[in-house]
Amino acid sequence: MQRSRLGAIALSSAALLGAALASPALAATDSEIPTFQEFHASTFKDADQQYIVNGDEPIADAGELKGYYDRMVHGSEEAMENGLVVNTVGGSDDKWSTSQVGNLTYCVSSKFGTRKADIVNAMNGGAGLWEAASSKINFVYVPSQDANCTTRNNSVLFSVEPVQTSQYIARAFFPSTPKRSRNVLVDDSIWTSGSWTPANIMGHELGHTLGFRHEHTRPESGTCFEDNNWRPLTPYDSSSIMHYPQCNGTSSNLSMTATDRQGAATLYGS
């Protein structure tokens, strides 16, 4: 979840790349599109050395970042006519198997200190939003693993860890992400995000862990284009929990909508 709220998004090379490719007029000349070197140089590198794109989505290394850049540049002509969208990898839905989605285990790092119970509650609230949408989805908190809650802990599917950054409030991963990079990182700004409740913020991030993309990458949004690697599950929903308000979204509190629930049920079963 991007830190900037309700205001304009700063135009780094990453944002300029998306802006140029979103508009044929802007993409008419190569000079409008940053080179990969410019894109690479301006992309934020997180504490665990992953690159962050689209506000809160990690990319493991420079090689994968180059692949992301190439897909953006060379795949921009592919139109998506069709509020939830699922990430795709190689043309296939990026989702958990039926057995795995019913056992999405996680730990919450003890490094959250006095805020740990609050994070546990926020995770429980965010997970509950998706679990209520599909009986197949089940996030399982494993507190016995909290003392060793890192991506190296193979007793859980993913870890929830604190981070100090000015780049985002929280960020997550997709089902296709390798185990070594499967974590949800949370900054202290989650407690001072106004109408965005911690539970809804975690709900947004857990949407990514289930494979759901930002709703505003769809052409109907008119801004904040990311890429075309997604498949529509529902009609466009400007109020979706997966839609940034600052990207022409119409929800002020990042709450889940009936369309979000419909999309989750469509992908994983009701």
Q: Is pLDDT of 74 > 90? A: no
User: 145 and 178: one domain?
Assistant: yes
Q: What is the C-alpha to C-alpha distance for residues 268 and 270, in angstroms, rounded to an integer?
A: 7
Whether the predicted model's global pTM rises above the 0.95 cut: no
| DSSP-assigned states of every residue in 25-77 | TGGGSGGGS--HHHHHHHS-B-TTS-EEETTTEEE-SHHHHHHHHHHHHHSTT
- List, for residues 179-210, the tens digit of each pLDDT value: 999 999 999 999 999 999 999 999 999 999 99
Please give the tally of structural domains in the chain: 2
Let me know if residue 4 belongs to a domain. no
Let me know if residue 51 belongs to a domain. yes
User: 34 and 129: one domain?
Assistant: no
Let me know if residue 198 belongs to a domain. yes
Q: Is pLDDT of 109 > 90? A: yes
- List, for residues 121-180, the tens digit of each pLDDT value: 999 999 999 999 999 999 999 999 999 999 999 999 999 999 999 899 999 999 999 999
Let me know if residue 25 belongs to a domain. yes
Q: What is the C-alpha to C-alpha distance for residues 12 and 185, in angstroms, rounded to an integer?
A: 22
Range of the domain at 245: 13-85+215-250
pLDDT band at 31 (very low <50, low <70, confident <90, very high): low
Amino acid at the residue 240: S
Let me know if residue 92 belongs to a domain. no
pLDDT band at 70 (very low <50, low <70, confident <90, very high): low
CB 209 within 8 A of CB 174: yes
Q: What is the C-alpha to C-alpha distance for residues 166 and 21, in angstroms, rounded to an integer?
A: 27
Amino acid at the residue 50: Q
* CATH number for the domain that contains residue 142: 3.40.390.10
Q: What is the C-alpha to C-alpha distance for residues 226 and 236, in angstroms, rounded to an integer?
A: 15
User: 222 and 193: one domain?
Assistant: no
For residue 66, the model assigns a pLDDT of: 67
pLDDT band at 27 (very low <50, low <70, confident <90, very high): very low
More confident residue, 157 or 47: 157
Which of 146, 128, 257, 131 has the alpha carbon at shortest distance from 199? Answer: 128
For residue 38, the model assigns a pLDDT of: 72
- Quote the distance between the C-alpha of residue 205 and its chain's center: 5
